[in-house]
Homo-oligomer: A and B are copies of this chain.
Amino acid sequence: MKLGEYAIILDNAIKKKESIIMLCSCTVNYSGRAESYLSKGDRIVIIKEDTTLLVHQPKGSNPINYMKYETSHDVSLNKGVLKLSSRNLALKEYMDILIHEVYSLRTRKMEDNKTLILQGTEKDMAEMIFNNPEMIEKGFKPLTMEEHIKFGFIDVFGHDKDNILTIIECKRYNADFSAVSQLQRYVKKVKESRGVPIVRGVLAAPRISPNAKEMLEGLGYKFVKIEPPMHLERFNKNQKTLDAF
């Protein structure tokens, strides 16, 4: 098939808001929040029904170039090269893909309105702690969860056994400097807004980096080792059983 025929298929699919999956050799220019140039190579190019554009190389998780939704796409043919011009005027982002050869081109209206069920997030951790306060320490009495204050939101907020205000910051994986800084900010702001001299800070995570721990303890805060909850465990257990064979 010639590039001109591919141009017509592309143009049609864009107009009909079908998803487009193309395997091709191409060159990519981008200008927007930054500027980039990617010279000729084989790539997977996807245009989704919401006009999102992705360019993937044969390695790696992330697209090498992309455009967000609400991008307009225009196809043109010039001197034996197919050109895809993508524009997001609202974001002032521009991309030109020069397509030298098309290896495969598929278009289809995709039917999918399903959303992901996800378990084991930071919010799930906060809920688990709220419902099992002794995980933090004996006598901890939670008051609120995901409480929004002007400067962010507090995962779990409550009183300790001596009725001292206590702020829990959860991290689903390794806690780092940034987590400690966040906790420090919340403690400072709550002290100010409530006019209380002492507010405790607790960082709940499966682990904490040594330097972050040093900073945490320097501030007089506490680390509690807690794993995020995994409730969809049946699948996991099945895998373990299967792996045993």
Contacts and interface: CB of A to CB of B under 8 A. Distances in A.
Interface of A: 19, 21, 23, 25, 29, 31, 33-44, 46, 48-50, 52, 54, 56-61, 63-66, 68-69, 87, 89, 94, 96, 103-104, 106, 108, 110-121, 150-152, 172-173, 177-178, 181-182, 184-185, 211, 215, 228, 230-233, 235-236, 239, 243
B31 A235 contact: yes
A231 to B, nearest CB: 7
Nearest to A173: B33
B94 A103 contact: no
A230 B42 contact: no
Given A19-B58, A21-B44, A59-B52, A236 B118 contact: no
A120 B120 CA distance: 36
Nearest to A233: B35
B42 A116 contact: no
B29 A235 contact: yes
13 contacts: A23-B106, A31-B239, A35-B235, A36-B119, A36-B232, A41-B110, A49-B58, A54-B61, A58-B110, A64-B116, A96-B235, A151-B211, A181-B182
A44 to B, nearest CB: 6
Contacts of A103: 106, 108
Contacts of A68: 61
Contact of A48 (B29, B39, B46, B59): B59
Contacts of A173: 33
A229 to B, nearest CB: 10
A157 B68 CA distance: 36
A114 B44 contact: no
Contacts of A23: 19, 21, 106, 108, 110
